[in-house]
Structure 1
Amino acid sequence: MILNKIKKTALCFSLLAAVSCTDNFEEINTNPKEATTQQLDQDYNSIKSLFKPAFNRMYICDVTWQYQLQQSLQADGWSGYMTTPVAFGAFNNHDYALNVGWNSFAWDDAYVNIIAYLYKVEQRSKGKFDQFYAWSLIFKAATMQRITDMYGPAVYSKFGADAVTYDSQEEIYKQMFKDLDFAVAELSKRITAKEKTSFAETDLSTYEGDYTKWVKYANSLRLRMAMRISKVNPVLAKAEAEKAVNDPIGVFTTVADLMKVKSPVNLNVIDVMSHAWAGLFMGADMESILGGYEDPRIAKYWETSDVTSGQYKGVRTGIVYPSGTTYGKFSKTAARTKNGEITWMSTAEVYFLRAEGALRGWNMGGAAKDLYEAGIKASFDQNGVEGVAAYTANNVKKPKDYADPINAANNAAAVSKVTVAWGATKEENLEKIITQKWIATYPDGQEAWSEFRRTGYPKLFRITNNKSGGVISTELGVRRLGYSQSEINNNKVGVESGIAKLGGPDNGATRLWWDVNKANF
C-alpha cells in the first residue's frame, strides 16, 4: 500500500542552508554580479537552466511519492476531492492527527527546489536581462501563493539573507502584487516592441515561451490572489482584481489560454496512486455533488466502482478504515488524470473569479450571471463534454445523500442544497460559484481547500473520527499546516517570528490572515 511508497529524504532543508544544499551545488552557489562573455555566448543558458525545477516542482509531476507528500495527503483530502482510506498509524492528516513529517515536505521542497533557483535567477538577470527576472517573479508569486496559503507567514523578502525571519502573510501578498506589477510591465513592454521571446526553448509549459500568454497567466494569478484577500482587505482586493481584468492583455478567456505543464516523464502521479498503488479513491463529496447534478464531467474524472456495478462510489474522508483494502473497489481516477499533464490554472477558474468579483460589485467586464455560466461552459469545453445549456439551466437537481455500502454508520445526508441555475441572493449565488469552481478546479485540491477555508463552500461532509485531541474543530476542519520540522530544528528565530505574525499557536486550527471569521458579504 501507499505507506510503503513514502520514502525518507536526505535533503538539508533548513532555509539557512537552502541555497547551499541542492543537488547543483556549484551552479547555485556561483554568484556573478555581471553578465560574462561565456553567459552571452551560451544564449543565457546559465540563467535558463535555473527555471526547469520550477516547472517540475510547483505541482510535482515526475515523482509520485513526492507529490503525495506535497499535496495528496493534505489538501486533496481536505478539499473533498479524493481520499486515501488507510489509517497510516497514529498520525494521519485525514483524522486531524496531523503528521509533521508529511506536512513539512511542501515547505522544504518549495524553498530548496524552486525559490533557491529563482533567487539565483534574480542575481544573474535583474537589471541586465529583465525579461528573465520578470519571468522568475511570476514563478515566485505562483509558488509562494501556494506556500503562504498552506502555512501562513513565511520567508519572502529576506530569502538569502543571513537572518532568515518571516514576513507576515499580508506582507507576502502585497509583495507578490508588486512582483507581478514588474513582471507584467516588463513583458508587456517587450510585446509592444515585438521582441522575439527569449523563453521558447526553456518554457516547459504549453505556452512555448509566448510573452502574451505569460502576461495573461500573471494577470489571472493576480485575480486569484485578489479574491483570496477579499474578506480581509476588500479595498486592495477590488483594486488588484480590476487591475488584472482591465489590463490591455487581460486574463484567460479561452480554453487555449489555460496554463498547463507536461510531465517530463509522461507521468500522472495521481493516476499512479489511484491505479498502480490502489490507494486513492473518489471522495464522498465528489459522489454527492457530481452524482446529484448528474454532471457529465464525472465520467472524465472517475471510473465506475466494482463494489456497486456501473455506479460511481466515493469514500468518506476521516472515518474509521478497517483495513487498507476495505474500500479498494470504490471509484478510481479516470481520463482527466491519465494524460501526464498538470493544469496550473484553468480558464474556468478565471471566469468564476470574475463572477464573484462582479457579485461583489467590482468591474469585471461582465455581469455575474453571464460570467458564472461562461465558467461552466469553459469547464465543459476543457473536459470535452456536451450538454452545458441544459446543465446550466438546472434548477431542480441537487447534491445527493451519501450511502456507504460497507458501513452504514458512514451514511450522511447531503450538506449542499444548491442547484446549478443562477439564483436570487448574493450568498446563494456565491455558493453556486464556488461549488462550480470546485468542480472545475479538480484535481488541484490545494486551491479548492483554500477556497473552502475562505468561503465555507462547497459544503462538505465532516469527518467522524477526529483524533486531534480537541485541537482542530470537526466543524471547521484543518485551517493550515504547521511549520516544517527542519525549520523548527534549524531556524528557531525564523519560526518564532512566523508564529508571532501568525497570531495563534503553530497548529492546524489557527486561521490564516485572509481566513477571517466573518460573513462573506
Structure 2
Amino acid sequence: MLKKIAYISLFALTFSSCSDSLDDINKNPNATETPLTPYLLTGSLKQGADLYWGSVNNFDSSLLFVQHWAKIQYTEPDIFSLSNSSFTSLWNTGYATLITDLNTIINFPEAQANSNYKGIALTLRSWTFLLLTDAYGSIPYKEAGLKVNPSYNTQKEVYTGLLEDLTQAQSLLSTSNGTVTGDLSYKGDITKWKKLVNSLRLRIALRISDREPVLAKQAAIDATADAGGLISSNNDIFKFTYTSSPQQNPASAWFETRDDYRISKTVVDKLYELSDPRLPVYAQLPSDASVGKYVGGGNGLSAAAANAQGLAKTSKPGTYFLTSQSPAVFATYSETLFNLAEAVARGYISGDAEQYYNDAITASFNQFGITNATTISNYLNQAIVKYDAGNYAKSIGTQKWIAFFGQGLDAFTEWRRLDYPVLIAGPATVLDGKIPSRFFYPGTEQSLNGASYQAAVAGQGKDLLTTKLWFDAK
C-alpha cells in the first residue's frame, strides 16, 4: 500500500516534466486544480470518525477484545479466528487517506493553509499515528509517504516523535493565526484544539510511563503546565457528530440491516455489580419483555452457543450508540481527568488523585446524561468504587474501561496498559486462553515492503496477535 503511494508520487513527478501542451490537453476543466484546505479537513475528520467508530477496528475487533460488545452470530472475530487481512482498513486508510491528506495541508503554502490549519492537521496526523502504533506496534513513521519502501520506527521512537510533533502543533495554533473553516469537530475554535493537543500529550506520557518514566514525567509536566490548558469540560470533548443516512453513525447503519452483536455479559455484570446508572445508556432491554432485565452476550462462544442465548433474550447496545446522529467520540473530559489522576498517583505532577478520579467518573456520568447529584454521590461512596491509592491501576483501569465504552481502540490500549479489569477469554477462543495484544500487520506489507516488515518483526517479535507491544511489555 505504501509502495503504491510512492509509485503514484513518482508518476506525478515524471508526468510534470512533460510539455506544457500535454498538460493543457490533459486538464479537466471541471476539476479543482488544488484541493481546498477546508474540504481536506472535513474529509479527514469524517474518514477518521468512520475509521475509529466503524466495524473493522471497533465493534468487529477491539470492542470484542475488551468485552464491551459480543457476537451472537458469526462469532469468528469474537473467538479470535482472524488473519492478516482482518485489520487492513486501519493501516490503509490511516496512511493512504488520512496521513496523505493531512500532509497535503501541512505542506501547503501559507496562502492556502494558515498556521492554524497546519497545527490542526499536525494534531490529527499525530492522533492517526498514535492509533496505528497502539494497534500494530512498530510502524512506518519518519519515512511514511516519503519512500517507496519506508522503514519502520520502533514504538518508542514513534511515541517520542509524536510528543515533538504535538509540541510543534501547539506552537502553530493561535487565535491570531487566522480563521478555520471545514472543522466539523470544534467549529474552528482554536482554544479547544490547543486543549486537545495537551490532552494528547498527557495521553502519550502515560503510554510510555512503564518503559520511560523520566521522559513520561517530563511530558506530563509539559502538557499540564502549557498555557493552552487541557480538555476541561464535556464541552471540549473531541468528537465527530454524524447526521442522517448516508452520513450516519456506522453502528447505526450496521444495525439497520444486521443483528449480530450484543452488549457483552462482562460489562452488564460489572454494571449490575456496581449499581451503575450507565447500564440503561449502554444497553437496551431484550425485546422479549418477559426477560425484564439487561442480559449481556457471552464473549468467545461458538456460533451454536452464542446463538442459543437467544436474539430476543439478550441486550443490544444502547440506542445512544445506535442512532444516526450518535457521535464518534475520540477524546473525552473523563479520560483527561483519569489521566491526571494517574499522573498524580505516579508522582509526575502535584494534585489530588482521588479527586481527579471522582471527577472523572462524574464527567463520564454527565457525558451520558446522568446529572443527579445524589445518584452520583451514592455511586462514588460505594466501597467497591472508592479510589484505592494502594492499587491505583485497578481503580483507574476499571473505571476508565467502563467510561471508554464504545471507544474500542483506546479502551483496548488502556486495558493492555493498566491490566484492569481482569478479563477472561471465552471458552471457544483459539489463542490458548489469551486475549489479543495487538493487530496483525496487513499481509500486503510482506509483499510490498518485505525487508522493512521483516526488520520490524525481528525487533518487535513475531507478527502474532499475542505478541506484546513495547508499551505493554511488563
User: TM-score, normalised on structure 2?
Assistant: 0.88
Equivalent residue number for residue 386 of structure 2: 421
| Pair 1:301-2:282 in alignment | yes
Equivalent residue number for residue 234 of structure 1: 213
How far apart are residue 271 of structure 1 and its match? 3.2
- Aligned residue for 2:144, secondary structure, equals coil
Distance 1:84 1:275, change over 3 A: farther
Task: Deviation per CA, 1:462-503: give whole Å up to 9, x if none.
Answer: 221132xxxx452x421111111121221112212321331x
Distance 1:15 1:77, change over 3 A: same
> Hey, which of these two has a bigger chunk of helix by percent?
2
How far apart are residue 126 of structure 1 and its match? 7.6
Equivalent residue number for residue 273 of structure 2: 292
Q: How many angstroms apart in 2 are the aligned matches of 1:122 and 1:185?
A: 14
| Pair 1:283-2:264 in alignment | yes
Distance 1:56 1:217, change over 3 A: same
Question: Structure 2 counterpart of 1:183, which letter?
Answer: A
Moved more, 157-166 or 217-226: 157-166
- Aligned residue for 1:101, secondary structure, equals coil
Contact map agreement 1:19 1:116 (CA 8 A) in 2 = no
Equivalent residue number for residue 440 of structure 2: 482
Q: How many angstroms apart in 2 are the aligned matches of 1:346 and 1:498?
A: 33
Superposition pairs for residues 142-157 of structure 1, below 5 Å? 142-157=127-142
Equivalent residue number for residue 35 of structure 1: none
Task: Deviation per CA, 1:188-220: give whole Å up to 9, x if none.
Answer: xx23xx4442x2x21011x10111100101111
Q: How many angstroms apart in 1 are the aligned matches of 2:241 and 2:171?
A: 28
| Pair 1:57-2:61 in alignment | no
Contact map agreement 2:90 2:132 (CA 8 A) in 1 = yes
Q: Report the identity percentage.
A: 25
Question: Structure 2 counterpart of 1:328, which letter?
Answer: L
| Pair 1:373-2:336 in alignment | no
Question: Structure 2 counterpart of 1:421, which letter?
Answer: K
| Pair 1:221-2:204 in alignment | no
Contact map agreement 1:352 1:375 (CA 8 A) in 2 = yes
- Aligned residue for 1:119, secondary structure, equals helix
Distance 1:303 1:275, change over 3 A: farther
| Pair 1:138-2:123 in alignment | yes
Distance 1:440 1:125, change over 3 A: farther
Superposition pairs for residues 288-367 of structure 1, below 5 Å? 288-306=269-287, 309-322=291-304, 325-326=307-308, 327-329=310-312, 330-337=314-321, 338=323, 339-364=325-350, 366-367=351-352
Equivalent residue number for residue 247 of structure 1: 226
Task: Deviation per CA, 1:364-399: give whole Å up to 9, x if none.
Answer: 5x200000000011111111113111110111xxxx
Question: Structure 2 counterpart of 1:244, which letter?
Answer: A
Equivalent residue number for residue 418 of structure 2: 455
Equivalent residue number for residue 80 of structure 2: 96
Q: How many angstroms apart in 2 are the aligned matches of 1:119 and 1:433?
A: 36
Contact map agreement 1:53 1:113 (CA 8 A) in 2 = no
Q: How many angstroms apart in 2 are the aligned matches of 1:21 and 1:382?
A: 44
- Aligned residue for 2:468, secondary structure, equals coil
How far apart are residue 359 of structure 1 and its match? 0.9
Instruction: Select the residue among 158, 163, 169 that pairs with 1:177.
Output: 163
Distance 1:250 1:453, change over 3 A: same
Q: How many angstroms apart in 1 are the aligned matches of 2:347 and 2:16?
A: 50
Contiguous gaps of at least 5 residues in structure 1:
1-13, 32-41, 396-418
Contiguous gaps of at least 5 residues in structure 2:
18-31
Task: Deviation per CA, 1:82-129: give whole Å up to 9, x if none.
Answer: 0223345xxx33223323222222111211121111222232248984
How far apart are residue 272 of structure 1 and its match? 3.6
How far apart are residue 340 of structure 1 and its match? 2.8
Equivalent residue number for residue 400 of structure 2: 437
| Pair 1:506-2:471 in alignment | no
Superposition pairs for residues 378-389 of structure 1, below 5 Å? 378-385=363-370, 386=372, 387-389=375-377
How far apart are residue 446 of structure 1 and its match? 1.0
How far apart are residue 175 of structure 1 and its match? 0.8
Question: Structure 1 counterpart of 2:143, which letter?
Answer: K
Contact map agreement 1:61 1:269 (CA 8 A) in 2 = no
Equivalent residue number for residue 103 of structure 2: 119
Instruction: Select the residue among 459, 465, 481 that pairs with 2:428.
Output: 465
Aligned residues: 446
User: TM-score, normalised on structure 1?
Assistant: 0.80
Contact map agreement 1:473 1:509 (CA 8 A) in 2 = no
How far apart are residue 275 of structure 1 and its match? 5.5
Question: Structure 2 counterpart of 1:389, which letter?
Answer: S
Q: How many angstroms apart in 2 are the aligned matches of 1:360 and 1:159?
A: 34
Over aligned residues, Cα RMSD in angstroms?
2.7
- Aligned residue for 1:80, secondary structure, equals coil
How far apart are residue 431 of structure 1 and its match? 0.9
Contact map agreement 2:240 2:328 (CA 8 A) in 1 = yes
